[in-house]
């Protein structure tokens, strides 16, 4: 194996031989972690080796599969004389692998075809590579796919058939596909019908609304199977065992963008194939002792709740409905009065610490054990503090918006997101309180979501990293006994006489949007459940800039994914 780099030499070689790649003779070696090839140029007359070209290598964890290639001409695009090549080297195999493109964080499938004269050698290569790939136990073999045919621009089925299914077939992953026939079809099927033992993961083809259905289906099914009462706000929820893949095909693909870094079906499919795993926190939302919904991205009261309520009235306008509703809600400039109580997250950084949650994020690595969680619950119960008792803080005020983000909520329009430093899986949410302010000030705050300026650097905005929070809209008449007692949790739901809505001067009830759905109650209680689900994703990768500011092309970076 002359010429291959030293550390490759050190690794146990599985197979090496001289093959033909295009018009070059190459030395090819497969080790336990990498497939490497290096070209040898020969003098045409003497057949003597005159130079070596650069070594190319693909980490084994980025290889999708190796296949016998019957049609040599397929690989003949770059060859001067494919017909002659076919006669001289009639056997060939193609290795498909994941490669980065120059477009931001998008992955594509690359192919490299090697030719040889010997059929046995060709088959040996295919066998060895596929045997090594089968040792990656994190890769799915069987998937349950739900497609929303009406999501976004109604391209879900086409996107799946044209872009995703061929890749899954190439990677030898089987898929049972269900095209949904109504809203909540996927959720109900997961809760009561799907035989989840048959699958290694669930795939959602649609937007954030469709993902929310799958999320609810999986969490509810898991809690039911483990006899957990989800109506109790303090129930310890059991994490879901199946991972979820998101193929973006909706009008809002915020969750896909925030966990993969791109809204691209092929990129998402490749993350599923290589078996990526990204844990994610989930918020449970209750009203009194009644479960309302789960949330993984944004719980928004006031401005965002009003935008969504208005946009729902104009669904026929498609994605443009959000822009229209945004302008209308901004012009109406409503504010709402209420009390927000929250339990701050200690030793978890702050929403303004500028530490971005990126692939391999240190803050999200730690998974707290059941013992840790029990200890924390105990200390929350015993540690009294001056503000509200039991470690809770209480703020009363008039707010234009109250937002709780469990992730950055990045999207192509706001690449840093609503909560730029929020983490995907650290067991906390970032609570953003925008107090009543002038129209112009609110506009400045909104504008900063699209620029590099700090959107929290305003006197009327405050942010807190929290584990739990409650909200109680302003009530008319005397406060209840619970409210007077100063216990923030009971007082959240103690007051029962809401004020009637009074137009745009505040005091009326706003509505909460929970990952794009409107909640039926304004008084809610929210708890963050750390790492309750896992996605086929790896978080947003830092872009490696080359001179000229472009991301490098080539295979994905080797990760510490070793065959087990």
Ligand X SMILES: Nc1ncnc2c1ncn2[C@@H]1O[C@H](COP(=O)(O)OP(=O)(O)OP(=O)(O)O)[C@@H](O)[C@H]1O
Positions annotated as catalytic residues are 208
Task: List the interface residues with ligand X, window 285-324 (CB under 6 A).
Answer: none
Least distance (Å) between residue 317 CB and ligand X = 11
Least distance (Å) between residue 159 CB and ligand X = 11
Please state the three-class secondary structure of 433-491 as a single string. EEECCCHHHHHHHHHHHHCCCCCCCCCCEEEEEEEEEEEEECECCCCCHHHHHCCHHHH
Binding flag, residue 80, ligand X (CB under 6 A): no
Report CA Rg, the chain. Answer: 27
Closest CB to ligand X among 150 and 291? 150
Stretch that binds ligand X, among 247-255, 364-372, 407-415, 471-479 (CB under 6 A): 247-255
**Site track for ligand X across 181-220, x = CB under 6 A:** xxxxx--------------------xxxxx--x-------
Least distance (Å) between residue 27 CB and ligand X = 49
H/E element, 306: helix 303-312
Closest CB to ligand X among 208 and 281? 208
**Site track for ligand X across 490-529, x = CB under 6 A:** --------------------------x-------------
- Which string of DSSP letters, residue by residue, matches 372-439? HHHHHHHHHHH---TTTSTT-EEEEEEEEEEEEESS---BTTBTT-SSTT--SSSS-EEEEEEES--H
Binding flag, residue 251, ligand X (CB under 6 A): yes
**Site track for ligand X across 388-407, x = CB under 6 A:** --------------------
Stretch that binds ligand X, among 47-55, 123-131, 177-185, 500-508 (CB under 6 A): 177-185
Least distance (Å) between residue 315 CB and ligand X = 8
Least distance (Å) between residue 254 CB and ligand X = 9
Strand segments (E) across 305-391: 336-344
Residue 520 neighbours by CB under 8 Å, 6+ apart: 287, 292
**Burial class of residue 12 (count of CB atoms within 10 Å of its CB; 0-12, 13-18, 19+):** exposed
Q: Which residue is nearest to ligand X (CB)?
A: 207
Distances (CA, A) of 329 to 180, 333, 338, 415: 33, 6, 20, 22
Closest CB to ligand X among 494 and 516? 516
C-alpha 433/C-alpha 419 separation (Å) is 12
Say if CB 415 and CB 449 are below 8 A apart.
no
C-alpha 547/C-alpha 467 separation (Å) is 42
Single out the residue of 148, 268, 278, 403 in contact with ligand X (rule: CB under 6 A).
Answer: 148
C-alpha 329/C-alpha 494 separation (Å) is 30
Stretch that binds ligand X, among 167-175, 180-188, 369-377, 454-462 (CB under 6 A): 180-188
Binding site for ligand X (CB under 6 A): 148-152, 180-185, 206-210, 213, 250-252, 516
């Amino acid at each position: 194996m002359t010429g291959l780099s030293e550390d490759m030499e050190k690794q146990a070689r599985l197979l090496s031989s001289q093959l033909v790649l295009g018009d070059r003779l190459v030395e090819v070696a497969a080790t336990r972690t990498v497939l490497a090839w290096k070209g040898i140029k020969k003098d045409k007359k003497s057949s003597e080796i005159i130079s070596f070209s650069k070594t190319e290598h693909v980490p084994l964890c980025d290889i999708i599969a190796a296949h016998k290639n019957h049609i040599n001409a397929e690989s003949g695009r770059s060859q001067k004389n494919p017909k002659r090549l076919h006669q001289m080297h009639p056997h060939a195999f193609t290795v498909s692998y994941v490669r980065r493109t120059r477009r931001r964080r998008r992955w594509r499938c690359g192919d490299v075809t090697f030719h040889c004269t010997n059929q046995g050698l060709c088959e040996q290569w295919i066998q060895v590579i596929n045997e090594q790939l089968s040792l990656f136990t994190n890769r799915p073999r069987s998937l349950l796919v739900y497609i929303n045919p009406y999501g976004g621009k109604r391209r879900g089925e086409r996107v799946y058939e044209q872009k995703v299914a061929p890749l899954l077939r190439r990677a030898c992953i089987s898929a049972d596909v269900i095209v949904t026939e109504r809203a909540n079809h996927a959720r109900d099927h997961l809760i009561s019908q799907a035989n989840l033992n048959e699958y290694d993961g669930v795939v959602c083809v649609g937007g954030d609304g469709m993902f929310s259905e799958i999320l609810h289906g999986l969490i509810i099914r898991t809690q039911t199977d483990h006899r957990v009462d989800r109506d109790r706000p303090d129930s310890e929820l059991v994490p879901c065992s199946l991972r979820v893949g998101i193929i973006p095909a909706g009008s809002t693909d915020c969750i896909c963008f925030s966990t993969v870094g791109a809204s691209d079906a092929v990129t998402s499919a490749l993350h599923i194939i290589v078996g990526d795993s990204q844990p994610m926190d989930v918020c449970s939302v209750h009203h009194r002792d009644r479960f309302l919904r789960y949330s993984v991205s944004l719980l928004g009261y006031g401005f965002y709740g009003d935008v969504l309520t208005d946009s729902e009235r104009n669904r026929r306008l498609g994605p443009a409905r959000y822009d229209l509703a945004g302008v209308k809600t901004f012009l109406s400039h409503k504010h709402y009065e209420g009390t927000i109580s929250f339990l701050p997250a200690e030793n978890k950084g702050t929403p303004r610490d500028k530490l971005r949650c990126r692939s391999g994020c240190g803050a999200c690595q730690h998974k707290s054990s059941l013992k840790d969680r029990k200890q924390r619950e105990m200390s929350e119960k015993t540690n009294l503090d001056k503000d509200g008792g039991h470690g809770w803080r209480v703020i009363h005020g008039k707010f234009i918006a109250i937002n709780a983000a469990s992730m950055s909520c990045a999207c192509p329009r706001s690449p840093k997101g609503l909560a730029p430093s929020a983490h995907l899986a650290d067991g906390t949410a970032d609570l953003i309180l925008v107090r009543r302010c002038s129209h112009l000030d609110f506009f400045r705050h909104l504008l900063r979501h699209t620029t590099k300026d700090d959107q929290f650097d305003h006197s009327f905005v405050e942010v807190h990293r929290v584990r739990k929070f409650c909200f109680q809209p302003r009530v008319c008449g005397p406060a209840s006994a619970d409210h007077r007692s100063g216990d923030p949790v009971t007082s959240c739901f103690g007051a029962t006489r809401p004020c009637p809505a009074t137009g745009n001067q505040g005091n009326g009830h706003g509505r909460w949007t929970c990952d794009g759905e409107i909640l039926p109650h304004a008084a809610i209680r929210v708890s963050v459940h750390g790492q309750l689900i896992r996605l086929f994703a790896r978080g947003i990768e830092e872009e490696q800039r080359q001179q000229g500011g472009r991301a490098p092309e080539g295979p994905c970076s080797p990760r510490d994914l070793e065959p087990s």
